[in-house]
């Protein structure tokens, strides 16, 4: 009788141990920051060497790179505005994120229209300057 109880206890213990996934058994992507014009993320060790693609909302693949380390920073500063999809792929594992690059205008662009002159110079229409202390 004792042997049967010990055998049942060992079987239950084995089931409990094998039923729990180990901490690093599943690939994981964690977003560390998504502020302003940057997307910063970290991957688990399982995803080292995975492919990262940045795709604009018009369907064009803007950038493609392999993960050489566990962390990656994607800089959207010089990219055009729109919604981008960041896709991390390794084998059958695919994880996607979205990042919105908002249109940021400088002070002159906010005030008027862009004008390109024949000499190549660019000015912005409807811009007036105010100089304190000088009569207009």
DSSP for 24-37 reads TSS--EEEEE--TT
* pTM recorded for the entire structure: 0.59
Domain 26-102: assigned CATH number: 2.60.40.1930
Mean pLDDT of 28-40: 87
Q: Would you place residue 15 in the very low, low, confident or very high pLDDT band (cuts 50, 70, 90)?
A: confident
Mean pLDDT of 49-72: 89
Asked if residue 71 lies in contact with residue 39, where contact means CB atoms within 8 angstroms, the answer is: no
| Position 46 pLDDT exceeds 70 | yes
Q: Would you place residue 97 in the very low, low, confident or very high pLDDT band (cuts 50, 70, 90)?
A: very high
Distance (Å, whole) CA 118 – CA 120? 5
Give pLDDT, residue 120: 58
Distance (Å, whole) CA 11 – CA 5? 10
pLDDT over 70, % of the chain: 68
- Closest by CA position to 41, among listed 30, 57, 54, 27: 30
Highest mean pLDDT: which range of 2-6, 53-57, 132-136: 53-57
Write the DSSP string, 64-89. Answer: EEE--SSEEEEE-TTSPSEEEEEEEE
């Amino acid at each position: 009788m004792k042997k049967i109880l010990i055998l049942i206890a060992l079987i239950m213990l084995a089931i409990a141990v094998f039923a729990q996934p180990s901490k690093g058994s599943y690939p994981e992507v964690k977003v560390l920051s998504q502020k302003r014009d940057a997307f910063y993320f970290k991957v688990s060790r399982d995803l080292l060497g995975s492919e990262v693609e940045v795709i604009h909302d018009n369907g064009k693949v803007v950038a493609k790179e392999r993960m050489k380390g566990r962390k990656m920073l994607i800089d959207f500063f010089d990219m055009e505005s729109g919604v981008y999809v960041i896709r991390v792929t390794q084998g059958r594992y695919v994880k996607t994120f979205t990042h919105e690059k908002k249109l940021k205008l400088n002070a002159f662009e906010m005030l008027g229209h862009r004008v390109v002159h024949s000499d190549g110079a660019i000015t912005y229409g409807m811009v007036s300057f105010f100089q304190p202390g000088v009569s207009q």
